[in-house]
Chain A
Amino acid sequence: MNLRIPFSALLVVLGTPSAFAATALTPGTPLPVNFAPNTLITNAYIDVDASAKQLTVNVAGTGGDVDVFLRYGSPFPDTANCSTTATTPCMSYDMIQRYGQYHSMSSSSNESIVVTNASTIPLTAGRWYITAINGSSSSATATITATPSSTVSTANITIDFGHSSTNATDPTQNCDIAPWSDATAATPVGNNPGTSLGDQRKNALQYAVQQLAQQLNSPVPISVHACWAHLGGTASRATLAHAASTSLAFSDNSFPMPWLSKQFTWYTNTQIARMGGTSYCGAFGGDCTSADQDYGNLVEITFNSDIGTASVLGGSPFYFGYTSDSSSNSSDFIAIAMHEITHGLGFLGLANTDPSAGPIGARAGITNGATTVTYQNYDEGPWDDVFGDNVVNVASNGQSYTPFFGYELNSQPNNAARTAAMTSGNTVTATSTGDRFAPTLLRWSAPLGLNFSGQPTGSPPTSFPSLYAPCDMTKTTSCSTSVGSTLSHTVQQGDLMNAFYNVGQQRVMGLAAPMLAAMGWSTSAAPAAAFAQPFTGIWYDRAHSGHGLDFRLVSHTQDYGDVYLAYFYTYDATGSVEMFVAQGSVIDGVFIPSIIGADGSTLVRFHYDPIAKKATPTTNTGGSIVVDFNQAANSPACRNTDRSNAIMLGVMSWSFADSNGNVTEKGDWCVEPLTTLAQNASPDRGGLYYGGSSDSGWGFSVLDVNRGSAGEQVFSVLYYPDANGKPIWAIANMQPFVNGQTIPLIQNAAGYCRTCTPVAQNQVQAGTITLNFGTTNTATIVANYPGGSFTRTNVPLVNLGTQ
């Protein structure tokens, strides 16, 4: 599979595929591995047959910090095929993570991944590759075990009744665990056999999570931290309990989690662990025995220990029975726990509903130093969230609908439309079993087909279930009969996630089950994963016009698919032209380059030797590049200007670091191709040309476009060395193209640096190029640089771009 890359040629010469090293695993049999500090084993593998519905990969070890990565169908990069030496290994932790479709990377050496036929990248018959890394400075010993199964296991929702904490300034934030062991005598109630208050409380919570677990059928355990606190209350009103997931995250080029079905989109940690088949710390890293990582708990729920005291709600108590509460003057503990924990499982819309936090309807972004997401003054983002991506705004006539989060620019958020939908319902009818709400214009984007009385029928969007949308979310009593929060609740009477609880609340998830299934909790077999397939050509970012990425397909290998050379033609800090090169494969729709420099750099610069007529890489540029072509339109980088008519998009993440590894500049750019392959002329002269192995270190790409009656257009980027051997570039563009006719070479008199504000192009001629396409392709070049010119006369060309 390997490519031999004589970078001295600037352009590649392809090698022949060869086998990569691999180690077969026997199902269920541990493979022992000795890990020195900072070492890895690549491509252990397990063959899975068509009967398998679940694959579990476990690492059990001591010492060090062994992490495990898993991918289907094609192998991880392999030390057997790179320039590894004792001092300059060719693989980094980062690279392996990018190849991994699943990972478990806690700070211990005990890891686990569960992939099922319902996973985003589903378990499929064939070969699954495993790489394990000890990324610590200590040695480790570990075993790797892969176990396929024809059945999907169901894990429990576990409860952490420990890990108390106190908050000196705000006791309502305490986690008091003493009420779980309250010895006050109690009479068994509603099949709850507990004879003490503490036991009844614990039994009821365990019953609640058991009901959820049985309906979720998650193969991954979910842990809930259960607390009490004095949340207070008055004679007429009190908080009974509150809950939330312990963190949120998204997948992007900086920390890819390919198992999330939506990239660049917020998920709760419960969804991330569920879809990733791993634990909190398996997904994010860290120590799940520490408070910083919430002891590995994915949800935290706090009950009000003042409930039942005489001064609060007239002494109205919690009801702890397993059977539904038929009383109208007590609070159903199990229904409350199920409802609140379900919010923590991901039944949570992140669009802003708090006017003090920013515009109503705003999407969630990041502001440096903030302790949660922010809704204004973003330093990064904002991003959609997966709940909101399933919501639609229905038109006032009820006949049509638009996405709650549509394709919209960061500078032009459609907050107003979201606000209108979130305040579209206020008609309430009191019934004997609770309040009935009229349909709202804020709806879940699928008819869920559950058997509820009054459930909407008909064609979409009439059949879409409504979400709670009070007329004024900040004044909860103005239009509705009681409190309730918008967006993250249904209005289906009797449903678990209704904004209001009813007497005799059912302990079934109702609409929450299919809604959560659409957000990562599905147990149905998933279709094969589909990844973006970029194509050869010149790509650029509308927001950074003048810079570009010449992305050239140069090979296809059996094991690693398409191989590309990527020329990043750009400007340095002074606005002068400069360029870098990377080479790598497109793995699952992501361009992942090879490591060239001992510093891990993947963007390399060359130094040209005019005597030898070749260039050698200046490897330690500190540069890196990754281009993700999957769902790029979701990314903030692609929403800073209108790209709705783009042919295809990719997020090009680039960075440069100093010799100490400190990042000096970085960016996420949204790149798109100048043309499609279908627009290429016939015959297509496009390609990547250079002077052959005896005259390398320079070259040019050609984009050959059929412009119909306007004639053939040839667009070329010439890469050549300046007086100091530094690679620079110029552009030639001719339409209609006339073979053999001299074309001006163009440069900007003053470009703008990668992190500078774009400036208008000021084109000046920098020489000429004459292209002769025929039986033998030749070029004549006079390319200027300060103090001289790079010249070639009728030089024969080799085209790499057609291989």
Chain B
Amino acid sequence: MRMIFLLAPLLAANASAAEQTAVQAQPLLLPVGLQTEAKAMVKPTAVSSPKIHATEATLNSDGTLTVGCVERPNPHAVKSPIKTISPEPQQ
């Protein structure tokens, strides 16, 4: 990334992996207000599926089964989206 001023390179350019010398990692910016872990602000939006699919069997009068798949609300839906967004004013 094209940043402001050049400092000394922090990693040895083209260092050979074959040397097996452990590389020392370099500092990372910490989020303001969360001064302990740089990863703390990572927030995906993962939610539970709203639907499950269920195989249903119906016993017919002749003793045979008719089997079909139906869609139902997911009773295991427990994951609310992690991020919370304040809605913008409606126009």
Contact = CB atoms under 8 A, between A and B. Distances in A.
Contact of B87 (A23, A141, A380, A476): A380
Given A285-B44, A343-B53, A483-B58, A594 B15 contact: no
B47 A249 contact: yes
A241 B55 contact: yes
A476 B26 CA distance: 62
Contacts of B70: 476, 483-485
Given A22-B14, A500-B67, A500-B68, A255 B49 contact: no
B57 to A, nearest CB: 5
A594 B29 CA distance: 12
A698 B1 CA distance: 25
B76 A659 contact: no
Interface in A154-209: 170, 172-173
Q: Most chain-A CB neighbours within 10 Å: which of B38, B77, B88?
A: B38
Contacts of A82: 1-5, 7
Contacts of B10: 21, 79-80, 84
Given A4-B5, A38-B28, A41-B23, A22 B11 contact: yes
Interface in A659-697: 659-662, 666-667
B68 to A, nearest CB: 4
A340 B22 CA distance: 48
B79 A25 contact: no
Contacts of A243: 52-53
B74 A372 contact: yes
Contact of A255 (B3, B18, B45): B45
Interface string A753-767: 001111000000000
Contact of A80 (B11, B78, B87): B11
A366 to B, nearest CB: 5
A488 B50 CA distance: 13
Contacts of B16: 24, 26
A83 B73 contact: no
Interface in B20-40: 20-34, 36-40
B15 A662 contact: no
A755 to B, nearest CB: 6
Interface stretch (A215-223, A328-336, A713-721, A728-736): A328-336
B47 to A, nearest CB: 6
A89 B27 contact: yes
Nearest to A5: B4
A210 interface: no
Nearest to A21: B11
A636 to B, nearest CB: 10
Contacts of A7: 4
Interface residues of B, number: 85
A97 interface: yes
Interface in A579-594: 583-585, 592, 594
A364 B43 contact: no
B3 A662 contact: no
Contact of B45 (A29, A65, A249): A249
A501 B67 contact: yes
A583 B4 CA distance: 10
Interface stretch (A131-139, A388-396, A457-465, A771-779): A131-139
Contacts of A241: 54-55
B22 A34 contact: yes
A105 to B, nearest CB: 7
Contact of A357 (B36, B73, B76): B73
Contact of B53 (A31, A78, A236, A485): A485
Contacts of B3: 2-3, 5, 77, 81-84, 90, 594-595
Contact of B84 (A31, A42, A237, A368): A368
A4 B64 CA distance: 78
Contacts of A40: 25-26, 28
A239 interface: yes
Contact of B28 (A135, A660, A667): A135
B77 A371 contact: yes
B29 A595 contact: yes
Q: Most chain-A CB neighbours within 10 Å: which of B23, B34, B53, B84?
A: B53
Nearest to B83: A254
A667 B88 contact: yes
A583 B90 CA distance: 31
B67 A240 contact: yes
Contacts of A316: 57, 59, 65
A40 B63 CA distance: 66
21 contacts: A2-B6, A3-B2, A43-B11, A44-B17, A78-B11, A80-B10, A83-B5, A173-B76, A245-B49, A247-B79, A268-B49, A348-B53, A370-B81, A371-B77, A500-B69, A584-B1, A595-B3, A600-B31, A659-B32, A661-B31, A661-B34
Given A39-B25, A248-B49, 15 more contacts: A1-B2, A23-B11, A29-B17, A34-B24, A42-B26, A89-B28, A90-B3, A132-B25, A133-B39, A239-B57, A244-B51, A339-B55, A343-B69, A482-B68, A489-B69
